[in-house]
Amino acid sequence: MHCHNCLTRQLTNGHTLYYHAAITPVIVCPGQSQVIALPPEDIMPQDGHAKQDCERAAGKRWLATHAARVAPHGVTFLGDDLYSNQPLCALVLHHRCNCILTCKPDSPPTFYERVAFWQATGGMAEREGRRWHSRFTEVTLVRYINDVLLRGGDDALSVHWYDITVVNATTGAKVPPIAGVKIL
């Protein structure tokens, strides 16, 4: 059973899997337990496109439809590496919003070549903080660079990059880092 809005995946046994998917944005606020659900955007086959829709295209459609309503409230969009690219970042800025996006070290490569250059030449700032957690001290190391070009070309966006590493000061055990985040 399927409909014209189903996405499809070919299985190794020759059968076709039909399914639906959507992005489901929410508004969250630090220190608040309430979450406000925003309208979802379906990921579905698009007319005239040979390739199936994707999460990134659905995100662009959602921004085009809804960003003007949330922009006056000073929202910052959060996203994973999938959204960490110049076209989507430019669209967020066009709607007068900000974003914090995870960026894997191999995506985009030009960006991380620049980060490596700044690190090698001493252009990376570092800050360390310590916090007591009733049984151990947590050490947080923040490394950051401001105004790194996101990609090559004259129209490249300038973004901020940071990396956070948290360790237990007693054992040296790392808490999983929030690495490679760009802030616009």
pLDDT, one tens digit per residue, over 60-116 is 999 999 999 999 999 899 998 888 889 999 999 999 999 999 888 887 778 888 888
pLDDT of residue 176: 56
pLDDT of residue 135: 80
**Which of the four pLDDT bands, split at 50, 70 and 90, describes residue 25?**
very high
pLDDT of residue 14: 92
Amino acid occupying residue 113: E
pLDDT of residue 33: 87
Residue 131 pLDDT exceeds 60: yes
Q: Which of 135, 147, 139 is nearest to 182 (CA)?
A: 147
* 134-177 per-position pLDDT tens digit: 788 889 999 999 998 988 888 999 999 998 888 888 887 876 54
Looking at the DSSP bridge assignments, the partners of residue 149 are 158
Measured CA to CA, the distance from residue 85 to residue 79 in angstroms comes to 11
Measured CA to CA, the distance from residue 43 to residue 11 in angstroms comes to 20
DSSP letters for 134-149: SSSEEEEEEEEEEEEE
Q: Rounded to a whole number, what is the distance in angstroms from the first to the last CA of the chain? A: 44
Hey, is 168 helix, strand or coil? strand
* 27-64 per-position pLDDT tens digit: 888 888 899 999 999 887 765 555 556 888 899 999 99
